[in-house]
Amino acid sequence: MVQGEADLVWEPLLRDWQDGKLKQIYKADKLHDLKGLPRPRHELLKLNKYLFKAVPVQASRGCPYRCSFCEIPVFYNGSYRTRPIEEIVEEIKQVMQVTGFRRFQFIDDQITGKHKFAKELFRALAPLKIRFSCLWTVNSNHDEEMLELAAKAGVFHVNIGVDRSARTACCR
């Protein structure tokens, strides 16, 4: 069993499996900083077999909010981390070059957890002429500049998290 993120324990787990010496539990002592993440082998995806055809890509992990309905802040202990924007852009360019595909699904828990980061990312994505789907909280809808940048970057679908309990600090 792997507890938490697998990034930092995956290599020793595979080595132990190969040697026939698997442990009961593999647990990383810290969270990955997201810099230099290995790139998935997107060319192996059989996108024609999926109803929603979008290549998964990750820009961040975690969420800075504490919505009552959500497990993400508990799982990541309230942390919110972002990948270097240059790495995200390069991954998307590589996917487009290898697969010709231009539709993406950001698999982030909350892509707009830091508005400054999201705006910089959207500015960097705009020249790529892609289309993408993502998740963000309702507070992002109040930032006109971010909405404009997201539209120029190619957003076509957003799932929005809303906490109906007025007693929580969700989405603020």
Record the tokens describing residue 121, joined without a space: 């990312």
Q: Closest Cα to residue 134, out of 82, 49, 60?
A: 60
Domain limits, the chain = 1-30, 33-161
CATH topology (fold) of 33-161: TIM Barrel (3.20.20)
In single-letter form, the type of residue at position 109 comes to D
> Are 148 and 126 in contact, with CB atoms under 8 Å apart?
no
Q: Structure pTM?
A: 0.84
As a whole number of angstroms, the distance between CA 115 and CA 98 comes to 31
As a whole number of angstroms, the distance between CA 115 and CA 138 comes to 12
Chain mean position to CA 157: 15
Per-residue pLDDT of the chain (172 residues; tens, 9 = 90+): 888 788 888 899 999 999 999 999 998 888 888 998 888 887 787 877 777 788 999 999 998 888 777 888 777 777 899 999 999 999 999 999 988 889 999 999 999 999 999 999 999 999 999 999 999 988 888 899 999 999 999 999 999 877 665 444 455 4
